[in-house]
Each structure stands twice: as structure tokens, then as C-alpha cells.
Amino acid sequence: MDFGHGGFCRTSLDTMEDKYKLLLVDDEPDILEFMSYNFRREGYEVFTASNGEIGLQTVLQERPHLVLLDVMMPGKNGIEVCEEIRSHRFLDNTIVAMHTARSEDYSQIAGFNAGADDYIAKPIGLKVLKARIAALLKRNRTETAEAATEANIISEPENMGIVINKELFVVVKNGKSINLPKKEFELLALLMSKPEKLFDRDEILNAIWGKNVVVGERTIDVHISKLREKIGVNHIRTLKGVGYQFVN
């Protein structure tokens, strides 16, 4: 491996447009070496970082397709790194998967609340990890292709003041822009795509997180709560135990 400046490592793969870029961030050298070797063998272009600060620097420099991010690290932890990644609009399409031995609900909720796309608990078998990463990348590619063929602007009925521009990834309410993390944006777009329709929880999970991603039961609730804080509590109605709908 060729170790570059700034403390991160880049594999010796040739740069090719059709290769996915992976960034692995973990403070355990053995884990980084093992994962880097195996993902490189799968044809990925792999970068590694041994802490959150270097990981964030590498994300900004290399713009990887996916970041596998350990949560518990000294200094800047994974939650903080994820939040900073999501603060940059040009990284909206970068997938962030949290990777940690902590399996408590509050840890998962913190990760998703920070804008993570998936949560992968340690320990996990290599084959399963590879499958999860491949599924995330495939789903993201499919969503990108589908988005290119869809209408890019969704307006709330009866001119209630909320407009979603899917091309620019912007939400505007009463003329003011609202910054939403990727999953909150996708959730709002889904609900607004069919006002008054009741989306059940399984339908929302499959549409936003995908069938191959396992998330905690409270994940949707957390995202709905954050949306209500930003667009108003009256726009999203809850049918307890069933799902949610966008209302005028």
C-alpha cells in the first residue's frame, strides 16, 4: 500500500471512473488493514483513515461513494464526522454507514439523526459486510437513475408554501430555504409525492432505507420529529401503529 500525506492510506488500484471509492474510518489498525485488503480485492478503490479528523479531510478531498465510519473513536467521533459530512451539500450523495460494536437503540438513533444511511453493528462476517456495502451502493445508483427521470419539483397542494426541488436538493417554505439531511429530505419528498395518502411504516422503510437495510424501530419516528420541527407540526399526521401522511 502507498501511504500518502496527512495520515490516510490509498490502495494501489488504478483510478478508473467505474470503480467505487470506499473510505474506511476506524481507530483499530488491524481492522483497517483487513477490510482494506478485502475490499481492494473486490475491485474497490479504498482509502483509510485512523481517526475522525483525518477521515473528514479525506472525504472532502476524495469524495468517496461510501464511508464506513466507526462511531467510537478518540477525538472527533463518528457521529460528529457524519454531521459534518451532511453539512456539505456537495456530499449529499455520499453514503455514510456507521460501523460500531455499540448496538443500543440510542446509538443507532444518534447515527441516523446525524444523517447516516445505514447502521452496521460489529462483529459482522466479511461476506455479510460486503453484501451490505454492495446493496447500499446499488440502491444509491438506482435511486440516482430514477431521480433523473422523475419530475424534480414537488409543490404542496393549494399553495401552502412548501416546495421541494429534487434536482437542487432544496426545500423552500414561505420563500425561505430549509436545510434537511438526506434522509429527512427523501422522507418529506415521499410523503409530499402523494398528499393525504397514508404511508405505512414498512412502505416508508423500504422506500427510504431499502429492503436490505435493518434499522431500529424508532428511526422513522426520529426523522418525522425532526421534520415537524423544521416544516411545522401540522403538515405530517400520525396514525399510531400504522404510519404517516402529509396533510394540507
Q: What is the pLDDT of residues 21-55, one digit of tens each?
A: 999 999 999 999 999 999 999 999 999 999 999 99
**What pLDDT is recorded for position 134?**
92
Q: Could you tell me what percent of the chain has a pLDDT over 70?
A: 78
The whole-number pLDDT of residue 50 equals 95
pLDDT, greater one: 145 or 69? 69
Indicate whether 15 pLDDT > 60. Answer: no
Using a 10 angstrom Cβ sphere, with 0-12 exposed, 13-18 middle and 19 or more buried, the burial of residue 194 is exposed
- Round to whole Å and give the CA distance between 54 and 197: 44
Cα dihedral 45, 143, 164, 95, rounded to 10, equals -30
157 vs 212 pLDDT, higher one: 212
Give residue 92's pLDDT: 82
Q: Has residue 151 got a pLDDT over 90?
A: no
pLDDT at 103: 60
Name residue 164's beta-bridge partners: 154, 171
C-alpha cell at 33: 488493514
CATH level 3 topology of 150-246: Arc Repressor Mutant, subunit A (1.10.10)
Confidence of residue 110 (pLDDT cuts 50, 70, 90): confident
Q: At 243, which helix (H) or strand (E)?
A: strand 243-246
Higher pLDDT, 125 or 102: 125
Q: What is the mean pLDDT of the chain?
A: 80
φ/ψ bin of 116: left (φ > 0), alpha (ψ from -120 to 50), beta (otherwise): beta
Mean pLDDT of 153-159: 44
Task: Give the cell for residue 190.
Answer: 415521499
Fold of 2-147: Rossmann fold (3.40.50)
- DSSP code string of 39-81: HHHTT-EEEEESSHHHHHHHHHHH--SEEEEES--SSS-HHHH
Domain positions in the chain are 2-147, 150-246
pLDDT range class, residue 81, cuts 50, 70, 90 = very high
What value, to the nearest 5°, has the Cα angle with vertex 216 and ends 66 and 132? 35
| More confident of the two residues 127 and 10 | 127
